[in-house]
Structure 1
């Protein structure tokens, strides 16, 4: 097989890149190691920055998002029984859209299938060859049969555990990582959201987040120990703990119900440099991971796709290599700013096992400063709705 761009990973970033490339006549083949049903069964966050919304519009995949997504002009932050609102619309004249990542992926699959885009599922033993030369290719197996794709470029959109990052020699890449000493226990329930915007809660018992997927589907999280298991928590125990961590008036109107999904996610900050090696480009979780605080994972992958798409577009339409040559530097400049925001927001809201009384006072002072200072709120709003590309 031959194509112009081989894309490893059939999640939202790989699919979005493929769809955008097709709008300018650039061919691609997407390789996905799982089945389509498996990919669409993964539960992920769904707060979309303005930049990602515009990219989905450019890709022709935003109709259902605009029809079913929930526009949020702000978010609530609470500490104890105190709370205040960050007014995104008033501060920076921008909003975010709550629309599940699974639905984004579904829309992108539908678009690729409608366009006749080639997606290969159940691929195994993927290997990248010749990425540092002029003739890269990818080998893999499907149903025990060896396959090969020759291409001009390879986009590694295959996540933290994928093969793409590992294809860059250790002598070339450098990795930076912070592991947080806690996780998030998340519950999905067929209940109405407790509030029409997200609530980020700092409490003496630990962090909590009240989120949603729709008017009748809610997603809630509480900070927990990494040693715990979802099976350690009954639904009743989860709801009672959540109520202890959010303001009393919110707890009193919280509608509870059976969980339809329950899981624990560890928190990690991770970046690898560079994000380009020869004709191989890393996108999304293959290159970086952020804590879920602020929902930056998918959105940061989208900014990578933006830079790579613009670079490949200029290469194929104008013969310019400037965009692909500057891809890694441009992407990483934004990545590190997003990492800073996610680290700061996580530090603001969570309880750390080694926090002293002084540290706790500083955390409360930071919250009070954010509550009362316009410039601090402006900076947060700018980061939350999405830094410019």
Structure 2
């Protein structure tokens, strides 16, 4: 009875998991994984299957699942990167999706998951919060003008959100983001999508205050800041003299600390030669340029022009939350900017009377008494529960 029961169990295993019967390494690996429940033995047999050329793509994917369960994610990443080239193009696309999933859960983050087998010189990062639209994809297009290897980060940073803002309502579609990036002209080489950049290392939260213009000691992957022997108790980059009193910084006091902290970590992990940021958040773009300049990061910050819908509304992931009526009202932002640019040319704009907008110097973001060359007119407005920002550069 026991022998017959064991035979039926093995036959049922082959039927359920669509694994052909036999003595091949891959079959033995699946048997060890699913019947014997011995993950270590399964990994040994998966490796034998890969080295023997026995269903390499399936062996890699299945072994990655087992390794991930054993907290051996980095081994799985290296295995797929090393043997991906032995698989068909279709299988490689499938393995790329496995890589992305593994990379999201990696606790020892690699500089980037390099999918291309061609050695290249420069790499470029594009930072996004996901729910990608044509504006984000334009960053990828801009990136291809400056570098060979393109890395895109997808991470909803909780740092800039104030207590009154609901992080959970920020739109998200990671699978759609990956499809968009794969179909973008020129594509991308890697997607860096960490679960949590605030405590991604062994799930330990940092309690270090990162303070600029104080002595900074660095090592790859982390920042330690020393201030006369005293350690701070909060995590976040403290910005000084970086115009936090205007725009997003004025009404959202934690905003740029959250942005600067996470971008610092991102740059220290990925180490890009160039990074692309959209000009829609003009204040953020200029602050990151300053953040990179002051401590001599080896990263060039490039601004990419705003992408708009045909009616002039700047593309934003948050636009999805606008009702039809709110979206129609939101068109007033771009119209106001265009009107201001036109009026500025004939001296009709009074910079001191602006309340929900500012006109500042393009480079330093310093306040101006009157329209001088060059300036930027930035505006923020609420439509229902959605806060939108926009700007226009003015040169007279």
Greater C-alpha Rg: 2
Choose between structure 1 and 2 for higher RCO, CA contacts under 8 A separated by at least 6 residues. Answer: 1
Normalised-by-shorter TM-score class: under 0.3
- The structure where strand makes up a greater share of residues is 1
TM-score normalised by L of structure 2: 0.24
TM-score normalised by L of structure 1: 0.25
